[in-house]
Amino acid sequence: MGKFENKVVIVTGSSAGIGQATAILFAQEGAKVTIHGQSVERLQETQKHMLNAGAKPENILIVKGSVEDEEVLKNIIEETVIRFQQIDVLINNAGAVQKPGLTDANSLENFNFIMNVNLKSVVNLTQLALPYLEKTKGNIINISSIQSLKAYPPTCYYALSKAALDHFTRNCAVMYGPKGIRVNSLNPGFIETLVRKRVGMTDEMDKQYFETVVKPSTPLGRSAMPIEMAKILIFLASEDADFITGSIVVADGGLIVHPGVNLDVKMQ
């Protein structure tokens, strides 16, 4: 019997990357899972992996659409409750670094887009899910970023949205703890996902980015795989973590503690 047998989990942005790996792992642990994204093809791929992991077809619900659309957010909650009668875990994973088609991540247009996707949608979905989470004494995990804790000017507004999300997590933990609802954030470092390709990076550019940015600034010398984040989410959502709330859980391979200098240079 899996850890999440008879539990209902919502994972937004589960058509790829961390969200997909998380949905698959929850399915493997016996959960009924609502998956969400904008690509039907990729959502069907997630569903296929979940079935291969042991999920029953009737325990998978697909909701398509953008989290910018409040009707989509309502559908995520309402369709989940209609299908599964409850909500135990909400994983707010859907997010973006840059609006498709834009070349300047720090433009005002991108600021508005990023705040809507990374922050406003999470606030809205959380409010919609609260009555159901209160009934089950459930929990929420927001997927933030190490950039909320470490300046990175090339994507200033993305970092700003994640810093705000962290503080939303802290406040929600205080507000909803008395109702029996836990709220935490997971702040990953560099992850092997589609994010960089979605903003126009070619394979060659991505390789160069790894060699010049990721590898030298991460003590473990690599990016993480999505499954490594999924395992942390499973723990945070489980009864094993039932005294953890309001936490900003960093999983970054040591990026946050790297001094940002060439450590091979000897002091004279």
Active site residues: 158
Question: Roughly how many angstroms between the first and final C-alpha of the chain, as a whole number?
Answer: 60
Alpha-carbon distances, residue 117 vs 96, 123, 181, 255, 262 (angstroms): 7, 10, 23, 25, 36
* Contact partners, residue 222, CB within 8 Å, separation at least 6: 214, 215, 253
* Contact partners, residue 158, CB within 8 Å, separation at least 6: 96, 97, 98, 105, 114, 118, 145, 147, 152
User: Which run of H or E residues covers position 231?
Assistant: helix 226-237
Please give the distance of CA 48 from its chain centroid, rounded to a whole number.
Answer: 21
Alpha-carbon distances, residue 114 vs 108, 122, 139, 167, 176 (angstroms): 10, 12, 25, 16, 26
* Contact partners, residue 69, CB within 8 Å, separation at least 6: none
